[in-house]
């Protein structure tokens, strides 16, 4: 770590992809939210691994998520984030539970942060980082 402010990186970070998670990001480009699935023990896995963390099988595939989720917890940031995220403030980071039985970190968007609550129903929406990466954000399900 240098001691100068000249080296501050303002570029948006891209996911540090592993070979076995590449299908997730490829599908994201088409607006599909995938969950890794073990063909031997039937575990749904998030985040994706090289081998199933339950049974160590390499016989892994993918299932398509409905894209629906429920907010498990959230925190809205107003300050003290990296300079590269300053322009987004305030923004809300959340853990959301998918009906496929896995939990993801995400952002909750398209609503006032003060309207977000634990247990809120949300649906996936995609944020383009560049031509290769779309991040799965979630927005409230409108009644």
Partner 1 sequence: MSKSGIAIIGIGEVPTRIMPERTPWDILYDTCMDAVNDSGLDKNDIQGVITTSPQAQPRLTSELAFGKLPEELGLEGCRDCCIVNAGGAGTSNCLRLAGQYIESGVADAVLVNHVTVHSTISVPELIAFFGQAGVDLQWEYPFGTTYNIVMGLMANRFMHESGCSPLEMASVVTALRSWATLDPNSIFYGKPVPTPEMVLESSIINTPLHKRESNVLADGGCAMVVVSAERAKKLGKPAAYKLGESARYFSGTTVVRDSDKVTNGFKVTAKEAMAQAGIQKQDVSIWNCYLAYPLAHPIMAEALEVAPEGKGGQCFLEGRMSFGGDIPWSTIGDAPGRGHTGSGVSSAMYVETARQLMGKAGERQVKDCRYVYQNTAGGSGFNNIVTIWGREPNE
Distance CA 104, CA 90 (A): 20
Q: Draw the binding track, 59-98, toward partner 1 (x: CB under 8 A; -: no contact).
A: -------------xxxxxxxxxxxx-x--x--x-xxx---
Residue 68 or 135: the one with the smaller Cβ distance to partner 1 is: 135
Q: Among residues 60, 69, 107, 140, which is the contact residue for partner 1, using CB under 8 A?
A: 107
Give the angle subtended at the CA of 100 by the CAs of 41 and 39, to the nearest 5°: 25
Distance CA 74, CA 93 (A): 6
Which residues 17-56 are close enough to bind partner 1 by CB under 8 A?
A: 17-18, 21, 46-47
Min dist CB 130 to partner 1, Å, is 12
């Amino acid at each position: 770590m240098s001691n100068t402010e000249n080296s501050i990186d303002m570029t948006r970070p891209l996911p540090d992809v592993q070979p076995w998670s590449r299908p997730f990001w490829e599908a994201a480009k088409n607006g599909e939210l995938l969950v890794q699935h073990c063909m031997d023990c039937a575990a749904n896995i998030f985040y994706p691994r090289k081998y199933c963390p339950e049974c160590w099988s390499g016989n892994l595939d993918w299932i398509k998520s409905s894209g629906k989720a429920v907010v498990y917890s959230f925190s809205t940031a107003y300050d003290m984030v990296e300079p590269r995220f300053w322009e987004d403030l305030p923004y809300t980071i959340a853990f959301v539970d998918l009906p496929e039985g896995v939990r993801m970190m995400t952002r909750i968007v398209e609503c006032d942060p003060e309207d977000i609550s634990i247990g809120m129903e949300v649906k996936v929406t995609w944020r383009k980082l560049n031509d290769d990466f779309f991040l799965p954000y979630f927005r409230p399900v409108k009644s």
